Amino acid sequence: MRPLTEEETKTFFEKLSKYIGDSIALLLDRQDGAYCFRLHKERVYYISEELMKKAGNIAGENLLSFGTCFGKFTRKDRKFMLHVTALDYLAPYAKYKVWLKPSAEQQFLYGHNVVKSGLGRITEGTSDHQGVIVYSMNDMPLGFGLAAKSTEACRHADPMMVVLHHQADIGEYIRNENALV
C-alpha cells in the first residue's frame, strides 16, 4: 500500500472528474473524518485514514482489499479504469445523468450499451463522450458509461442508435464477482 504518485493522482483525478467534476474535493474533505486514496496492487482504494493505518500493518501480499476500490491502473499504459464499486461515491455527485426506461434496465445490467429507445431521460447539455451515471426511472444508480451522443443529437437519433456506451453496471457484482474487490 502506498499513496499515489503525482502522475497517478493526475490520471486518476482526470478520469474521476469526467463523472463528478470538481466534487472530488468533497471526497477529500469530509466532515466525518479524514479519508484518503491509497494504491495497492495497482488498485486505488478510498479509505478512512484510521482504517488505512490498521491495514498498513498487514503485509502487502497478504492484504486483499480495504476500503472501497475505485478502480485500477492498467499494467501497460498506466491508464485508470473505474470499477463499478466506485458507483456509491460517484452517484451522489454525478454531474450528468441518464435515466433508463424499465424495459432497458435489464439490457444495461447484462453489460450492453443503451440504445435510444431505452433512454428515459438525459441531463440537458450532455456532450458526447461525457461520463454519465446511469439511473433507473426511480432514481436508483445502475452504473455508469460514456455518452455516445450529446443531448441534442439524441433528440434526432433513431430508436436503435446507441446513445450510451456501457462501462460498468451493478450486474457485475454477480457476473464478475471474482474480479471485483
Partner 1 sequence: MQVLVNRLSGLPSESTEGVTVIKLPEPTLRLPREKPIPKAKPQTKWEAYAQLKGIQKKKKGRMLWDNESKQYKPRWGYGRKDETKSWLLEVPENADPNEDQFAKKIAEKKERVAKNELKRLRNIARVTKAKVPGVGLTPTDKPSKDHLGKTLAVTHKSTASLGKFMDTLPKEKLRLGKKRKFESNYTDDRERQKKILKGIADGTPVLDVNRAANIAKHREERERSMAKKSGDGEKKKAGAKGKKGGKKSFSGKPSGKPKKTFAGKTKKSFSGKKGGGGGGAKKGRK
Residues 149-178 contacting partner 1, CB under 8 A: 150-152, 154-155
Is 147 a residue that touches partner 1 (CB under 8 A)? no
Q: Which of 47, 52, 115, 164 binds partner 1 (CB under 8 A)?
A: 52
User: Residue 44 in contact with residue 67, Cβ under 8 Å?
Assistant: no
x/- string (CB under 8 A) for partner 1, residues 88-117? ------xxxx--------------------
- Smallest distance from the beta carbon of 14 to partner 1, in angstroms? 6
x/- string (CB under 8 A) for partner 1, residues 31-50? ---x-xxx----------x-
| Cβ proximity to partner 1, 63 vs 180, nearer residue | 63
User: Residue 79 in contact with residue 17, Cβ under 8 Å?
Assistant: no
| Cβ proximity to partner 1, 93 vs 180, nearer residue | 93
Q: Which of 50, 102, 127, 175 binds partner 1 (CB under 8 A)?
A: 127
Give the integer Cα–Cα distance in Å for 153 and 148.
9
- Smallest distance from the beta carbon of 97 to partner 1, in angstroms? 5
User: Residue 166 in contact with residue 114, Cβ under 8 Å?
Assistant: yes
- Smallest distance from the beta carbon of 174 to partner 1, in angstroms? 28
Q: Report helix, strand or coil for 159.
A: coil
- Smallest distance from the beta carbon of 123 to partner 1, in angstroms? 4
- Smallest distance from the beta carbon of 29 to partner 1, in angstroms? 7
User: First CA to last CA across the chain, in angstroms?
Assistant: 15
The H or E element spanning position 164 is strand 162-169
Rg (CA), the chain: 17
Size of the site for partner 1 (CB under 8 A): 44
Give φ, ψ of 111 to 5 degrees.
95, 20
Please state whether 114 falls in left (phi above 0), alpha (psi between -120 and 50) or beta.
Answer: beta
